[in-house]
Amino acid sequence: MSNETENDPGYDPNTPEDSGYSNPNNADAVPSVAGYIDARRSTVNPNKAFNINDELTAWTSRLRLLSGQGLAAQRMTNPLMGFNHRMASSPVPINKEYGGLTFFTRPDCNFEFDNIANSRRFSNMAAQPKGSLDYSILAALDPDFELGFSDAPRNANGQRKNRLGTPFHPDIPFDNLQAFIPLLSTQLMSLSAPPDESVDVWTSQEGLMREQYGMVDSTNEVNNAYTVSATLNNPYGDPIMRMMSVWLEYMAGVKMGKFKPKIRNSIQRRMDYFSRIYGIRYDALGNISRFWTMCVGFPTNNNAGAMAQVDNSKPSLDDDTTVTINWQMFGARYNDPLYMEMFNRSVAIFNPDMTPDPRQETFTPLGGNSLVPIPAELLPLFNYYGYPYLDSVRRRITWYVYQADYRTVLTKAGILR
């Protein structure tokens, strides 16, 4: 009896019933810690030289299977293919957005000489040096700002040529090849949400047994008017409020007949002070996880009154470090590939080098000889550089820079010599 007890290793719940108690140290059930740490053998393949990566992968898979979480390689597809009938904790990461960009398209205001002469504010701004913040604001709101070019070319009839897509005077601190206003994008802190997609429901009157039925009775598209609020950091020089003041005065001046729009906008009956807001959010892998568009709108206020507050009891005021701008918007679209292509079209209108080459199956800019796509590993070096392109099929964003900028940045970074 004592011999039988000494030889009995005891019951091992991880050992199959039909195996007896012959192998309580089954490597699959009760691993040898010493053997695992000292690498005396590999539980993956005993005939193979020990590899710590194979060992860890095997044990990770076993632990995940025992806990009901499934294999790690299938954690993204498991929720799409089957059911969590063991009610195990989900190993699928939630949709965390680690970054993103918001783009405000430039309006097409008309700051020609006659309009500038009709405004005390505009005249004072135009009297500043070309390298001033005032010129940057006027240039951002007028893509062919008459005073923003080094010369004034005229056609055969003496009329000024359209210079959309042509760089401004080098002293002006604004890139006229940009379709968007970087100041608003880089200083944006928060932006309230547009309306959700929804549908109206029609329901019948109740019957004798209180029975009812119903159906969808509207479109799901957001085509109505709504307002959003944007909170922005106000950098040194008060540029946000000054830009909004110019924008507001021009819009009101067009309404009152004080300012005249450009001929092309009058003929097309376009509201030249309208803008559009694009939003892109990224997942942890850098792919586009969310894309939305506020179709059209314009700002409706500045914070000039709030910033006029006086409180001499404080050594300094922090009330002017941020500004809150309300926008009147119309329509919204979510994850619409057509609006991705419209985004690309806007980029190409302002920078003709970003126009797709029709001879190429995949996107290649017409200025491909002078433009370079930035590799992912070099993106930190080119922050504040580049022109974006959205791939509506792969749902990725690529940034392109000119060869001169590419070489200059890499040289300063010590990568090129």
115 vs 161, more confident? 115
pLDDT surpassing 90 at residue 217 = yes
Tokens 């390298």, residue located: 131
141 vs 160, more confident? 141
d(CA 330, CA 346): 19
Tens of pLDDT along 61-105?
A: 776 666 666 666 566 666 667 776 766 666 566 665 556 899 999
**Domains of the chain by residue range:** 9-81, 97-152+161-196+221-308+315-350, 354-417
Tokens 């990725």, residue located: 396
> Which pair of structure tokens corresponds to residue 359?
């001879």
pLDDT surpassing 80 at residue 47 = no
Tens of pLDDT along 276-328?
A: 999 998 775 568 889 999 999 999 999 888 878 777 777 665 556 889 999 99
- CA 258 from chain center: how many Å? 37
pLDDT of residue 74: 65
Maximum average pLDDT range among 6-20, 223-237, 271-285: 223-237
Tokens 């309009």, residue located: 115
Distances (CA, A) of 302 to 66, 201, 385, 414: 60, 39, 29, 44
| pTM of structure | 0.77
Tens of pLDDT along 363-384?
A: 999 988 899 999 888 888 998 9
pLDDT surpassing 70 at residue 3 = no
d(CA 356, CA 348): 8
d(CA 64, CA 66): 6
Are the CB atoms for 110 and 89 separated by under 8 Å?
no
d(CA 293, CA 329): 10
> Mean pLDDT over residues 198-208, rounded?
95
d(CA 386, CA 37): 51
pLDDT of residue 377: 84
